[in-house]
C-alpha cells in the first residue's frame, strides 16, 4: 500500500473536488461511489443549471456560522470561481449574486470535474457501498457491504450516507430532516389559490408570536401550502406549530397601508368589495383576504374597514403544519456533529487521518448556491489536508 493513497467516500460535489485536490497535492486517489455514476445531484441542482456559488457567501447564511467561518475565509466565492475557471468552466453571476456556468447547464460543471479526475488518474470504483472504516497499521481499510476493500493512508467521507460510517469511528449525529423544502400549512384561508404567485415578505413566528426569521421574494401557493425560494429559505427555521405571516406590501408600513386603503375607500366606495382590490392585488388573493375579514364579495366597498384590511394585508397568517413534498427538499439538515471535527482542516478529532466534507456534516445554508459552495470549499480543503496527512512521516 502506498502511504500517499487517499480514499474518497462519495462521488458527489464534495467528493469530486476532494479527489481533485488530493490528486493535485500528489496523492494517489481512489473514489468510492455506491451508485453507477458520479455527480447525480450536481445535474439536478439549480433546476438543471447548477447554481454553484453566490457572491454573498457569509457565515450567517449557514446554520453553524462559527464552524463554517474558517472555511469560508479560506475559500470565499472568488476562490471557488477561480477553482472552476482553472478547470475550464466559465461562469457568471446574476443580479441576485447567484453564480452559474455560462452554458446554464449543470452537465458542464460535472463534465469539467470528471475530465480533471481522469486527467489526474483518480481511480473510480462504482457500486462500492461503504460499510465501515477500519484502522490498520498503515492507515485505514475501507470495506464495502459487498465484501470489497480499499486501503488508504487517509480517508475523506463526503457522502450523506457516510454518517453511519463515521459513527463506527465514535462520532455522533444530529437527527436528519429535510430543509429547503415547501411548507405545508392550514389551507382553509388559501383555498382556491393553488398556482397563484405573489411577491411579498414572509415571517416565521414562534408559538409566542415572536419573529424568528424573515425573507422577501416570490411565493407560490400550492394545494398543500406554500412554496418558492423565499419559503424554502424560511423552511430552515419553520417547525410544526409555528406560523407563517405574509406581508403582501412590505414596502408600505401599517399606518401607510391603512391610509392608502382609507383613501381608496373614499374614492372607490362605489365598487363592490369583490372588485375593491382590482388593480392592487391578485383577484384570488383579494378574495382570500376578504374571506378572512368575513366580508361578502357583494358588500359595498364603502362599508369596508380600512384598519382591519390593512392588518390582514400586512399580517396574513398561515399555521405551519409540516413540510410539503419532502422529495423536493434540496438539503437534509443533520449529520455528523460538528464538535467532532476541526473546522479549519475538516479532520476528525476522534480518528486522525479521517476527514469529512459536504453533506455528511451537520451544515446547511440558504438557497442560492450556498450549499454547493460549502461542498466545494470543504471538499477542497479536506482533499488537500488528507494528502498532506499521508505525506507526513510516521509518529
199-228: per-residue pLDDT in tens?
Answer: 999 999 999 999 999 999 999 999 999 999
What is the distance between the alpha carbons of residues 123 and 139, in angstroms, rounded to a whole number? 19
Question: What pLDDT is recorded for position 2?
Answer: 41
Q: What is the rounded average pLDDT of the residues 245-257?
A: 98
pLDDT above 80 for 293: yes
Per-residue confidence (pLDDT) for residue 179, from 0 to 100: 85
Whole-number pLDDT of residue 161: 85
Confidence of residue 1 (pLDDT cuts 50, 70, 90): very low
pLDDT at residue number 324: 79
Share of the chain above pLDDT 70, in %: 98
Grid cell, residue 218, equals 416570490
Mean pLDDT of 282-309: 97
Q: What is the pLDDT of residue 257?
A: 98
> pLDDT, tens digit, for every residue of 170-201?
999 999 888 889 999 999 999 999 999 999 99
- 330 or 19, greater pLDDT: 19
Distance CA 360, CA 350 (A): 16
The C-alpha atoms of residue 307 and residue 1 are separated, in whole angstroms, by 77
Q: Average pLDDT in the 360-379 region?
A: 96
Handedness of CA 62, 68, 72, 75 (dihedral sign): negative
- Residue 333, pLDDT > 90, answer no
Q: What's the confidence (pLDDT) of residue 167?
A: 96
Q: What is the tens place of the pLDDT at every residue in 2-37?
A: 446 999 999 999 999 999 999 999 999 999 999 999
- Of 2 and 41, the structure prediction assigns the larger pLDDT to 41
pLDDT value for 393: 61
Domains annotated for the chain, with CATH where assigned, are 5-177+331-391 (3.50.50.60), 183-323 (no CATH)
Average pLDDT, the chain: 94
Q: Which of 384, 394, 393 is nearest to 22 (CA)?
A: 384
Q: What's residue 394's pLDDT?
A: 55
Rounded Cα distance between 149 and 11, Å, is: 17
Amino acid at each position: 500500500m502506498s502511504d500517499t493513497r487517499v480514499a474518497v467516500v462519495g462521488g458527489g460535489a464534495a467528493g469530486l473536488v476532494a479527489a481533485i485536490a488530493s490528486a493535485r497535492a500528489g496523492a494517489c486517489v481512489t473514489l468510492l461511489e455506491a451508485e453507477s455514476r458520479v455527480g447525480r445531484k450536481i445535474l439536478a441542482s439549480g433546476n438543471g443549471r447548477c447554481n454553484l456559488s453566490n457572491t454573498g457567501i457569509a457565515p450567517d447564511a449557514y446554520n453553524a456560522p462559527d464552524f463554517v467561518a474558517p472555511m469560508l475565509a479560506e475559500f470565499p466565492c472568488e476562490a471557488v470561481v477561480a477553482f472552476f475557471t482553472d478547470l475550464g468552466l466559465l461562469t457568471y453571476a446574476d443580479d441576485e449574486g447567484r453564480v452559474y456556468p455560462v452554458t446554464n447547464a449543470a452537465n458542464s460543471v460535472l463534465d469539467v470535474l470528471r475530465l480533471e479526475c481522469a486527467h489526474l488518474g483518480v481511480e473510480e470504483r462504482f457500486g462500492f457501498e461503504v460499510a465501515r472504516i477500519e484502522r490498520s497499521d498503515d492507515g485505514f481499510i475501507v470495506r464495502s457491504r459487498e465484501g470489497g476493500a480499499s486501503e488508504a493512508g487517509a480517508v475523506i467521507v463526503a457522502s450523506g450516507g457516510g454518517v453511519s460510517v463515521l459513527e463506527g469511528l465514535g462520532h455522533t449525529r444530529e437527527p436528519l430532516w429535510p430543509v429547503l423544502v415547501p411548507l405545508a400549512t392550514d389551507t382553509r384561508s388559501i383555498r382556491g389559490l393553488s398556482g397563484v404567485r405573489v411577491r411579498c415578505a414572509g415571517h416565521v413566528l414562534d408559538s409566542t408570536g415572536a419573529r424568528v426569521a424573515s425573507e422577501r421574494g416570490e411565493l407560490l401557493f400550492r394545494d398543500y401550502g406554500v412554496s418558492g425560494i423565499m419559503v424554502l429559505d424560511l423552511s430552515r427555521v419553520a417547525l410544526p406549530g409555528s406560523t407563517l405571516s405574509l406581508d403582501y406590501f412590505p414596502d408600505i408600513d401599517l399606518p401607510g397601508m391603512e391610509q392608502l386603503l382609507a383613501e381608496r375607500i373614499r374614492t372607490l366606495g362605489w365598487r363592490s368589495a369583490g372588485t375593491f382590490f382590482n388593480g392592487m392585488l391578485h383577484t384570488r388573493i383579494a378574495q382570500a383576504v376578504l374571506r378572512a375579514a368575513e366580508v361578502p364579495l357583494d358588500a359595498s366597498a364603502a362599508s369596508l374597514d380600512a384598519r382591519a384590511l390593512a392588518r390582514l394585508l400586512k399580517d396574513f397568517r398561515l399555521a405551519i403544519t409540516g413540510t410539503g413534498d419532502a422529495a423536493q427538499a434540496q438539503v437534509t439538515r443533520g449529520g455528523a456533529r460538528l464538535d467532532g471535527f476541526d473546522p479549519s482542516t475538516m479532520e476528525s478529532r476522534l480518528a486522525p487521518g479521517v476527514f469529512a466534507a459536504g453533506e455528511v456534516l451537520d451544515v446547511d445554508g440558504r438557497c442560492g448556491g450556498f450549499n454547493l459552495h460549502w461542498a466545494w470549499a470543504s471538499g477542497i480543503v479536506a482533499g488537500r489536508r488528507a494528502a498532506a496527512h499521508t505525506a507526513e512521516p510516521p509518529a
